[in-house]
């Protein structure tokens, strides 16, 4: 992904949202933030995605994660669209702010442009999603084309993985889900692991006899 990517600090932009004006650094500092863009208001996949985000919002808030949506239309259009989103997704309240970017300036700075999807005003935003850490750095990015809707279970799963790795010297294996064992990071020696993980760990006996696949449980 050219431009803004994992490890980069998000630009300090002033944005206008459905919940008021925000400064991006102030909004994102000291918590986790999911910044997610959408090709446009009143489009089918986006309507389902924003509804799903609203249904999952409590799950994110409970984990200390703020949500910040974005679509390249103005606030008036966003507010009209929210009525459709809430009507389509029963019980969902769009309680998170949606950034307006009618001039399509912010999507360029946030590396959220879809090179293939265009309308009469130029390039549309991609279905990009950045997970920003409390240090304002991008920890993970999804980049989907306009034609593929995201899976919010996967977004929640990766948030949990990122938060585990930020708390402990662990990583999460393939298809990991919350509550399952995690692996100890390669840089940790067995002696260090004994101190770091007093609950113990299990080392897999592999043909190489290199003791690098070590499972433990952390909360």
**Which residues carry out catalysis?**
46
- Residues contacting 114, CB < 8 A, separation 6+: 39, 123, 124, 125, 126, 127, 145, 146
Contact between 146 and ligand BEZ per CB under 6 A: yes
Please select the residue that binds ligand BEZ; options are 10, 24, 34, 46, rule is CB under 6 A.
46
| Beta carbon of residue 134, minimum distance to ligand BEZ (angstroms, whole number) | 31
- Residues contacting 189, CB < 8 A, separation 6+: none
Quote the DSSP letter at residue 59: H
How many other CB atoms are there within 10 angstroms of residue 72's CB atom?
Answer: 27
Q: Rank residues 40 and 102 by Cβ distance to ligand BEZ and give the closer one.
A: 40
| Beta carbon of residue 205, minimum distance to ligand BEZ (angstroms, whole number) | 49
Distance from C-alpha of 25 to C-alpha of 28, rounded to nearest angstrom: 5
- Residues contacting 106, CB < 8 A, separation 6+: 13, 15, 70, 99, 112
| Beta carbon of residue 147, minimum distance to ligand BEZ (angstroms, whole number) | 5
Please select the residue that binds ligand BEZ; options are 74, 84, 86, 117, rule is CB under 6 A.
117
* Spatial CA neighbour of 50 closest among 5, 86, 21: 86
Stretch that binds ligand BEZ, among 5-13, 37-45, 132-140, 186-194 (CB under 6 A): 37-45
Please select the residue that binds ligand BEZ; options are 2, 20, 44, 198, rule is CB under 6 A.
44
* Residues in contact with ligand BEZ by the rule CB under 6 A: 39-40, 43-46, 117, 146-147
């Amino acid at each position: 992904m050219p431009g803004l990517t994992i490890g980069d600090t998000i630009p300090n932009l002033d944005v206008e949202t459905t919940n008021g004006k925000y400064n991006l650094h102030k909004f994102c500092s000291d918590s986790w933030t999911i910044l997610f863009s959408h090709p446009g208001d009143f489009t089918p996949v986006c309507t389902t995605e924003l509804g799903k985000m609203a249904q999952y919002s409590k799950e994110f808030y409970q984990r200390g994660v703020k949500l910040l949506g974005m679509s390249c239309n103005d606030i008036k259009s966003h507010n009209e669209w929210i009525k459709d989103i809430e009507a389509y997704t029963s019980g969902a309240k769009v309680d998170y702010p949606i950034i307006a970017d009618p001039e399509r300036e912010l999507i360029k700075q946030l590396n959220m442009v879809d090179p293939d999807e265009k309308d009469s005003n130029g390039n549309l935003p991609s279905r990009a999603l950045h997970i920003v850490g409390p240090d304002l750095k991008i920890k993970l990015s999804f980049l989907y084309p306009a034609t593929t809707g995201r899976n919010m279970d996967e977004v929640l799963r990766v948030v949990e993985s990122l938060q585990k790795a930020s708390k402990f010297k662990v990583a999460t294996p393939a298809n990991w889900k919350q509550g399952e064992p995690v692996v100890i990071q390669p840089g940790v020696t067995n002696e260090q692991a004994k101190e770091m993980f007093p609950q113990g760990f299990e080392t897999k006996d592999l043909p190489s006899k290199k003791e690098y696949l070590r499972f433990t449980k952390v909360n």
